[in-house]
Amino acid sequence: MSSATETVEDWGHFGHPLFNDPAMKYLERVGVVDVGSNSVRLVIFDGAARSPAYFYNEKLMAALGAGVQQTGRLNPEGRRRALVAIRRFQLLAASMSMAPLTAVATAAVREAEDGPEFCDEVKRETGLTLHVIPGEEEARLSAQGVLLGWPDASGMVCDIGGSSMELAELNHGEVGACATSSLGPLRLQAIRSRKARKAHIRDTIAGLVAQMGPRQDRLYLVGGSWRAIARLDMERRGYPLHVLHEYRMTPKSVRETVKWIGEHPLDDLRAMTGISEARMALVPLACEVLKGLIRALKPREIAVSGYGIREGMLYEQMPDKLRRRDPLVEACRFAEAKDARRPGFGRVLYKFLSPLFRQVPPNRARVIKAACLLHDVSWRAHPDYRHEVCFDNATRASLGGLTHTARIFLGLALLHRYKNSREETRFSPLFELLTDSDLRQAQVLGRAMRFASMLAADDLEAMGELRWFPKKKVLELWLPARSMGLFGEVAEARFKALAGSLEADPVVKRQRRVR
């Protein structure tokens, strides 16, 4: 369709292009209001980019859909609280001088008889148009949110809200079949009999599986109730990294955690984890649904996604070329451009160090590239704590396309960028998640970045060349004559430390001028 005939609807829920229109190319902030059955949330993304940063995030557990199953109408108190929250969100956005908010509503507003009336009230009170999306559309957008973090994902996406649960199939980065159901915890509260509820969950899931086709090896979980269960799984296991995105569980672990949850008072579980009272109240019902899903789908692995419908709306508008970019590398490039002393040097650094890592698989190479881009973004921190700040930033940042072990590897490499030893740090429990080989490679990468940063030249020719001979255990540094003066005592000590981590002999040679 030509631009002359395009309509507002052609650009989806935002009503305007975020990525293709030159006028929107440098859009700084994009805001989405998500009116769910259980929560009302505002997320403001800092930039329409492949890996957007979260500039602002606020949530209210309004329970808008509580009682809809019995009354057919929105929860009056939840409706009042949701309207107050949306009005606040609109005022916040106006104070930030950003593009108009986009607002979407899901199952509760979709199914309640007074849903249209509530949409009219929101429009009248705030000026926002509340787009009520069908269940299958909700499933599709949630799956696209998963693709924001896992571009080539394959498996089944399950998004649980307060009043509904959606499934969507992913095949190597493409969204397939989508389905919606009534298996939201708020709706299940209306079925008082545990036996009747169990039968309802079993029959509904059986119908979904019949509709969706063959089972998938991986199940991606989207939604607050799933994240709460994952956080409880971490607590039961004593898992040291409390980052929910990309957290992995096995069916056996989930079954053990569900049993463990049933053995503890909810108040005790809240005290352990900090999960809100409103969220924790729905966890037992969500556990029943998750057990049924695992029994029916038989996934090999279960992955938690921090991305969902809001991120899926951004992904919806991305051109294919942008979608194919690595979300991790894009986020690190953004961080380097914003915070590094010498933006662009990360690319030069990666090329300089690449001879040390010629045999690494592609997934490790991209993490090494990310480390090079991030190697200097924490320079403002106090020198005594810079290594800790680097590690915290890498392991806790909102980064897509990064497993937990890769997060820790990245953090450890950056720690070694500023500190030779990892002993006597508060991060030791996290290091136990890495293999001995990973620990050694992270140390090599960190020491390599620590040394290379001493060669204060932004072009590769001036930095010289590293040559690594693993069989001979020799590490050579070839420097041009004009750069020999950069190889002072500190640089020499760091080069020897790098060679030591490789158990190699350090050799420095002068490059001859090419005529």
Residue type, 9: E
Element housing 71 (H / E): helix 68-71
Element housing 476 (H / E): strand 474-480
For the chain, how are helix, strand and coil distributed in percent, rounded to 5? 50, 15, 30
Distance (Å, rounded) from C-alpha 375 to C-alpha 449?
7
User: Which two structure tokens, joined as six digits, stand for 307?
Assistant: 């991305």
On whether the CB atoms of residues 375 and 414 are closer than 8 A, the answer is yes
DSSP label at residue 193: -
Closest to 53 (Cα-Cα) out of 393, 334, 360: 334
Residue 399 is predicted with a pLDDT of 84
Q: How far is CA 34 from CA 40, 138, 220, 281, in A?
A: 6, 11, 20, 21
User: CATH fold of 3-133, please?
Assistant: Nucleotidyltransferase; domain 5 (3.30.420)
On whether the CB atoms of residues 70 and 113 are closer than 8 A, the answer is no
Does this chain's domain 136-310 share its CATH topology with 326-511? Answer: no
SS3 annotation, 455-466: CCCCCHHHHCEE
Residue 97 is predicted with a pLDDT of 79
Over residues 77-121, the pLDDT tens digits come to 999 999 999 999 999 999 987 888 999 999 999 999 999 999 999
- What number of other Cβ atoms are within 10 A of residue 80's Cβ? 13
DSSP label at residue 496: H
3-state secondary structure of 404: helix
When pLDDT is averaged across residues 38-64 and rounded to a whole number, the result is: 88
Over residues 399-424, the pLDDT tens digits come to 888 999 999 999 999 999 999 888 87
Distance (Å, rounded) from C-alpha 446 to C-alpha 348?
16
Residue 20 is predicted with a pLDDT of 52
User: CATH fold of 136-310, please?
Assistant: Nucleotidyltransferase; domain 5 (3.30.420)
On whether the CB atoms of residues 160 and 250 are closer than 8 A, the answer is no
Looking at the chain, the whole-number percentage of residues with pLDDT higher than 70 is 93
Distance (Å, rounded) from C-alpha 485 to C-alpha 503?
26
Over residues 236-245, the pLDDT tens digits come to 999 999 999 9
When pLDDT is averaged across residues 190-214 and rounded to a whole number, the result is: 93
Residue 48 is predicted with a pLDDT of 58
Closest to 34 (Cα-Cα) out of 101, 95, 98, 81: 101
Element housing 34 (H / E): strand 29-35
Q: How confident is the model at residue 29 (pLDDT cuts 50, 70, 90)?
A: confident
* Residue-wise DSSP of 240-300: S----TT-EE-HHHHHHHHHHHHTS-HHHHHHHH---HHHHHHHHHHHHHHHHHHHHH--S
pTM for the model stands at: 0.89
Q: How confident is the model at residue 511 (pLDDT cuts 50, 70, 90)?
A: confident
Greatest Cα-to-Cα distance within the chain, rounded to the nearest angstrom: 87
Determine the CATH number of domain 326-511.
1.10.3210.10
Per-domain residue ranges of the chain = 3-133, 136-310, 326-511
